[in-house]
């Protein structure tokens, strides 16, 4: 699959990160897959929390690092997964978790290596740390669903 760059956004505050996530969530529909990439502490979980908030998830969204995936209810079902512990796994991936991604909005941290197992169309957001507060978000798409997408 070809990765198509969409846009690059500089985020200067946590509030701007939340606004980005809320705006993104307003454009999501059941079956959508969002892949979040970036180093530890870049803001992947914070962005996933903001997306969940935008999807009207009432429960507190916490990092799924140790359980790998958590399911929530909002205006759509919402799956928040963290594939970090699977990166070095020789045997398994996210497909082994029986995630209902076709009937949910799914956000996967560290999921670039597993995206094609879940959906052949997805939005990839790479988060780079500029300094203590500022981040650069590079948004790219794979597949027809995201071809004309723009925030």
Q: Given this model, what pLDDT does residue 52 score?
A: 97
Q: 76 and 30 in contact (C-beta within 8 Å)?
A: yes
Q: Given this model, what pLDDT does residue 30 score?
A: 97
Structural domains of the chain ordered from first start: 4-144 (3.40.50.300)
Across the chain, which has 151 residues, the per-10-residue mean pLDDT values are: 88 96 96 95 95 95 78 94 70 60 92 84 96 96 84 74
Q: HSE of 100 in the Cβ direction (CA atoms, 13 Å)?
A: 10
Helical packing angle, 14-26 and 44-54, nearest 10°: 50
- Rounded to two decimals, the pTM is 0.90
Q: What is the token pair recorded at 130?
A: 């500029």
Helical ranges in 91-142 per DSSP H? 115-118
């Amino acid at each position: 699959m070809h990765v198509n760059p969409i846009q690059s956004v500089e985020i200067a505050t946590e509030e701007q990160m939340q606004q980005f996530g809320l705006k993104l969530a307003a454009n999501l529909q059941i079956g959508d897959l969002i892949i979040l990439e970036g180093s530890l502490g870049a803001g992947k979980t914070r962005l996933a929390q903001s997306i969940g908030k935008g999807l009207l998830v009432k429960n507190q969204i916490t990092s799924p690092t140790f359980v790998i995936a958590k399911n929530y209810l909002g205006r759509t079902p919402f799956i928040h997964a963290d594939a970090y512990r699977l990166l070095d796994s020789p045997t398994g991936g996210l497909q082994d978790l029986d995630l209902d991604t076709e009937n949910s909005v799914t956000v996967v941290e560290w999921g670039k290596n597993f995206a094609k197992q879940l959906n052949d169309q997805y939005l990839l957001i790479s988060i780079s740390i500029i300094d203590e507060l500022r981040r650069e978000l590079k948004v790219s798409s794979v597949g027809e669903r995201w071809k004309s997408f723009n925030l």
